[in-house]
Amino acid sequence: MRPGSAGKALIAGVATAGALALALLRPSQSQIGDRAGESVAAFAKVASVLTSPRCQNCHTLADFPRQGDDRHPHLFHITRGSADHGAAGLPCSTCHGNSNNIASGVPGTAELWRLAPVAMGWDDLSTADLCRHLKDPQRNGHRDGVQIIDHLKSHLVTWAWSPGSDRDGHPRTLPPIPYQEFLEAAEIWVRNGVACP
């Protein structure tokens, strides 16, 4: 049975309402552009931290950890080792405990101290390349945006804001923005599409 003119009008009305509802739910090009702009601006804040020595010293392409604001090679010729936990017989945990050692200046945290894998090395990357590396599953430990945020809440990351003092008793430099501002910027970057500059 074919619908009459009233039925056709009802079907047309429903179709029009459905199309209008979809148009209202679908972001406009300007909204997409605004979100991407917010994401890129948020990543600039994130990058200011990721390019600081507190992050770069462990996210290195070298076969050894780095130390200090000048990013010099780790004392005592410490090497990365096959699993990024130090050489066989001399793992990072030999010296790095579950908290900063006030007497020696050796840093520590509740999470096992280690280097980021070479695939996650950020030496000399531009902000745009750093962004692309960070969201690339092959270079970020197969993490999606939510898992990246979870990592940024880990002890190894939050240690950067409570790094203690070096062996000479000088306080280590903190990242350029407070942790909460960094985390909020990372969440905005992810929420708005992990856009890169």
Quick one: average pLDDT of 1-21? 55
Number of domains present in the structure of the chain: 1
Residue 49: pLDDT above 60?
Answer: yes
Q: What is the pLDDT of residue 92?
A: 95
| Sequence-separated (6 or more) residues with CB below 8 Å from residue 123 | 56, 59, 60, 61, 62
pLDDT band at 34 (very low <50, low <70, confident <90, very high): confident
Largest CA distance in the chain: 90
Distance CA 102, CA 156 (A): 18
Instruction: State the chain's mean pLDDT as an integer.
Output: 89
Distance CA 28, CA 189 (A): 19
- Residue at 109 is within a domain: yes
- Residue at 119 is within a domain: yes
- Residue at 152 is within a domain: yes
- Residue at 13 is within a domain: no
- Residue at 107 is within a domain: yes
Q: Which range of residues forms the domain containing residue 161?
A: 30-191
Quick one: average pLDDT of 178-197? 97
Q: Are 123 and 62 in contact (CB under 8 A)?
A: yes
- Residue at 8 is within a domain: no
φ/ψ region of 145 (left if φ > 0, alpha if ψ in -120 to 50, else beta) reads alpha
Give me the percent of the chain exceeding a pLDDT of 90.
83
- Residue at 18 is within a domain: no
